[in-house]
Amino acid sequence: MPEPIDRWHYKDPEKEQAKRAAKGLPPLELCNCRSTKDRGLPTPDHGCDRRWLAHWRDADGKQRFKKILTKGDGVESGGIQYARAYMNSQRAAVQEGRDPFPHRRRTTRGVPTIAEYVETFLEQHEGRDGTVETYAYRLRPHVVPVFGHRALDDVKRAEWREFLVGLRGKMSHTTRDGIRKSISSMYGMAVEDEVVDANPVAGLRLPKGETKEVRLAWRHVVAVAADIDPRYELTIWYGSLQALRSMEAAGVRREDMERVRGRQMVEEQRRRGQAAPLKTDASHAVLPVGDFLLGKYDAHVSWLDAARAEAEARRRRRGTRPVPEEYAGLVTLTRYWTPLRENALCRAFTEAKTKARARGVDVPEDATFRDLRHFADAVLMASGVEPRKVQARMRHARLAETLDTYGYLLWEVDWENAPASFTELYGIPEAEAPSLPEAAKVPQAQRSLGAAGRSSATVSEHG
């Protein structure tokens, strides 16, 4: 069976050779890879696995092509496996007398196309907005361009397997498995609606690819907290101590920390700057807060109040709009006194990593804010905290979810680099963590914080 092509030649070889001669470059050699009598002048993409050309003939015998990039963003990513799956789908469409080009009309049998049902699935899904957005991110750019023109009941299990295997190496195994789960969820709704008889993706197992395994240590966490924008330092401790997700950390309110001293209420998160429901019902919780975090919180709030008063006075002198009052209840705000958004937090986290690495701290290059949550789980598990209590801290609905998701995250904790003792950090008595080493019991007062002991210096407001 014909394969996708990785042969790329200049349309006007003489013009290209003339350009090279004008620049003083040696001429390119012609290659013999073409099946025609003419020899082609290869481009830099020729035979380099940078892009592939899917080709087939339509019902009129006309040659059709589509370029598939090996690397890049958007719907064109995939490589030879992606190109082969796309080419086979077009050939099958021609053989069966169907339109081989993507469209959104119904088939003659009345079964919607995959492109059409994706929109129906997203519109009718009763999940949270974030869940629907995730489904849309996975289905629209990855699935619709390849199978969007096919009827929902037309793509067979083997084709789905070939498509998903083709994504291996182009993205992480977690992302690829997320696409599989999204396809399966879509088919699950179609089965319930009696649009199709069965789910062809149900139970489909994929060979596990390389997974990202970032192992943070206390020296990394302390360094990032020291180098991140002082406005956002508390988010690092919320992630590494309270196991909060990024926008949960950005959405912490003063009342969440002050309603009951020593307890933190987790009741909402921020999405695009607005209050939003938490990921799941199990995400709602009341978490113990250690003395270390309480001290950080008190210092931050004192600094924030002083900075706000200074900003208000400065704005009055300049005659500009006052500091927004609707966000005064949030603990973390940007320099514009607005809620912290995810892209800004990711950018600040990356900048802090860069600064820490520049001064010799070996923070993993691919570490993300989510790895702080993994770190918190690893510390609790390594300290001998009961799995049920770890589950409560991670706010999972089922214990199996905690063990399946984070059970592999076990490594030795560098307690000598921790900023305080285990109890001061997590608010959990030492008796509930029987595996703690002696280094984990040294209180904050007896530790040398070094670079981590940074005061929240006043950050000038720009604008």
Between 307 and 58, the more confident residue is: 307
Q: 332 Cβ partners below 8 Å, 6+ apart?
A: 231, 232, 234, 235, 249, 250, 252, 339, 340
Q: State pLDDT tens for residues 17-75.
A: 888 888 888 887 777 665 444 567 777 767 676 667 777 787 777 777 777 666 443 33
Quick check: do 49-192 and 218-452 share a fold? no
DSSP state of 275: E
Q: Give the residue among 292, 310, 312 at the shortest CA–CA distance from 302.
A: 310
Tokens found for residue 133:
């957005």
For the segment 195-222, the average pLDDT, to the nearest whole number, is 81
pLDDT of residue 100: 53
Where do the structural domains in the chain lie, given as residue ranges? Answer: 49-192, 218-452
For the segment 403-412, the average pLDDT, to the nearest whole number, is 64
Strand 285-288 with 274-276, pairing: unpaired
**How many residues can be counted in the chain?**
463
For the segment 217-230, the average pLDDT, to the nearest whole number, is 95
Q: In angstroms, rounded to a whole number, what is the distance separating the alpha carbons of residues 76 and 70?
A: 8
DSSP string across 184-196: HHHHHHHHHTTSS
DSSP string across 25-75: PPPPPPB---SSSSPB-B-TTTTTTSEEEEEEE-TTS-EEEEEEESS-SST
Assigned fold of 49-192: DNA polymerase; domain 1 (1.10.150)
pLDDT of residue 106: 40
- CATH number for region 218-452: 1.10.443.10
- The percentage of the chain sitting over the pLDDT mark of 90, rounded to a whole number, equals 49
Q: Give the residue among 217, 214, 221 at the shortest CA–CA distance from 356.
A: 221
DSSP state of 10: -
CA dihedral 443, 444, 446, 447 (to 10 degrees): 120
Tokens found for residue 44:
């830099």
Token pair 């937090």 is at which residue?
345
**Is 287:242 a contact under the CB 8 Å cutoff?**
yes
pLDDT value at 382 more than 80:
yes
Q: 54-81: buried (b, 16+ CB within 10 Å) or exposed (e) per residue?
A: bbbeeeeeeeeebebbbeeeebbbbbbb
Q: Give the residue among 419, 416, 386, 415 at the shortest CA–CA distance from 403.
A: 386
- In degrees, rounded to 5, the angle at the alpha carbon of residue 132 between the alpha carbons of residues 203 and 237 is 95
Q: Give the residue among 322, 437, 339 at the shortest CA–CA distance from 379.
A: 437
Q: State pLDDT tens for residues 187-203.
A: 999 998 888 888 999 88
For the segment 200-224, the average pLDDT, to the nearest whole number, is 80
Q: 251-282: buried (b, 16+ CB within 10 Å) or exposed (e) per residue?
A: bbbeebbeeeeeebbbbbbbbebeebebeeee
DSSP state of 105: S
